[in-house]
């Protein structure tokens, strides 16, 4: 026979509240100090993050222009000439009217024909060199500028 301990012999634990009142949570002053510190850190870090974002868009646009330049060279190999300014870069996505040697699309989607700021790339055929110029007007989409607003160009020959 198994003998169970007497109920009176089991230890009884009681939970008591701390006799010190007001120490169960954070005070309003402590919360405000923490929020002020978080605000200061955010204010100091935000300009640096935005600078990285701006330079990343410039790098992305430059890489896109190189990719479009490669697609234009494939177009040139198929047609013996770069697209005229009228169909422009859209000739890389859709066949120009009357084209019999088009083997595209040479680049996927119309989104690839926009810079990192969402503006369409400029395209011009250079009559003197026989090449083309792909351009972006930068963040402000206005000709000229410095820094993030500087114009970007890529020449394919």
Q: What is the pLDDT of residue 4?
A: 64
Backbone angles phi, psi at 154, to 5 degrees: -135, 130
Report the distance separating Cα 67 and Cα 55, nearest Å. Answer: 19
DSSP secondary structure letter of residue 144: S
Q: What is the pLDDT of residue 16?
A: 58
Domains of the chain plus CATH, in order, are: 58-156 (3.30.700.10)
Whether 1 has a pLDDT exceeding 70, the answer reads: no
Task: Report how far Cα 69 is from the mean position of its chain's Cα atoms.
Answer: 21
Average pLDDT, the chain: 83
Report the distance separating Cα 83 and Cα 28, nearest Å. Answer: 67
pTM over 0.75: no
Q: Which residues pair with 136 in a beta bridge?
A: 152
Collapsing DSSP to helix, strand or coil, 145 comes out as: coil
Collapsing DSSP to helix, strand or coil, 64 comes out as: helix
Which H or E run contains 153? strand 152-156
pLDDT tens-digit map of 9-45 = 656 566 555 556 556 788 999 999 999 999 999 998 8
Q: Which of 109, 112, 114, 101 is nearest to 74 (CA)?
A: 101
Average pLDDT on 82-91 reads 87
Q: Which of 75, 74, 85 is nearest to 134 (CA)?
A: 85
Average pLDDT on 49-73 reads 87
Place of tokens 């000439």: 81
Q: What is the CA radius of gyration of the chain?
A: 33
% of the chain beyond a pLDDT of 90: 22
pLDDT tens-digit map of 109-120 = 778 889 988 999
């Amino acid at each position: 026979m198994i003998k169970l301990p007497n109920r009176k012999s089991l230890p009884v634990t009681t939970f008591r509240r701390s006799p010190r009142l007001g120490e169960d949570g954070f005070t309003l002053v402590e919360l405000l100090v923490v929020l002020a510190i978080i605000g200061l850190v955010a204010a100091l870090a935000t300009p640096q993050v935005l600078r990285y974002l701006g330079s990343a868009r410039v790098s992305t646009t430059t890489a896109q222009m190189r990719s479009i330049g490669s697609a234009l060279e494939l177009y040139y190999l198929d047609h013996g000439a770069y697209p005229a300014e009228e169909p422009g870069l859209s000739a890389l996505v859709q066949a120009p009217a009357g084209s019999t040697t088009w083997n595209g699309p040479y680049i996927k989607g119309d989104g690839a024909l926009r810079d990192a700021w969402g503006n369409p790339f400029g395209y011009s055929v250079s009559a003197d060199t026989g090449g083309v110029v792909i351009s972006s007007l930068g963040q402000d989409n206005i000709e000229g500028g410095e820094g993030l607003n500087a114009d970007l160009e890529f020449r394919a020959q």
